[in-house]
Structure 1
């Protein structure tokens, strides 16, 4: 199976800020090397986990160090109470057919 490069960020949001957070989240410009991105949020809207798939660790690092990403993170900061993030390598797991 193909190795994949994934950046995961989980944020605990300040109360009643999910909609404003989502508006500020959209990157501009769209990052080079970003293949796909997903967002998953808790039922209460207080926690959101972003999962992004990259061409390489270097592509992810270049975006993370860019000025547009610094500006985006500054725009998100008023809505974020806590943040955890990390870069991972992995692969899809084979799930038996039922």
Structure 2
């Protein structure tokens, strides 16, 4: 089974700011070494979880230490009440066919 390198960030947002947050949240330029990224948000729009898949932990760390990422985080800061983040390793689970 293929092992994946995943960065997960969950943020609690100020009420009514999901749209503005999403505009600030999109990376520019797109990070080198990032394979895929997903965003999941709560029904009330006050919590969003980002999940990104990377070539390696080093690629993720390099992006996180970059100037564009520092600027992106500064642009998001006014919308964020709380943030939790972590790096994980894992694999896809097989789901039985029905």
Question: TM-score over 0.5 for the alignment?
Answer: yes
Structure 1 residues 7-18: aligned runs within 5 Å? 7-18=7-18
Cα distance in 2 for partners of 1:61, 1:23 equals 23
Count of residues paired in the alignment? 98
Report what 1:72 is aligned to: 72
Q: TM-score, normalised by structure 1?
A: 0.98
Aligned structure 1 segments of 4 or more residues deviating by more than 3 angstroms = none
TM-fit CA distance, 1:3? 0.2
Unaligned runs of 5+ in 1: none
Unaligned runs of 5+ in 2: none
Report what 2:84 is aligned to: 84
Output the aligned Cα RMSD: 0.5
Structure 1 residues 30-45: aligned runs within 5 Å? 30-45=30-45
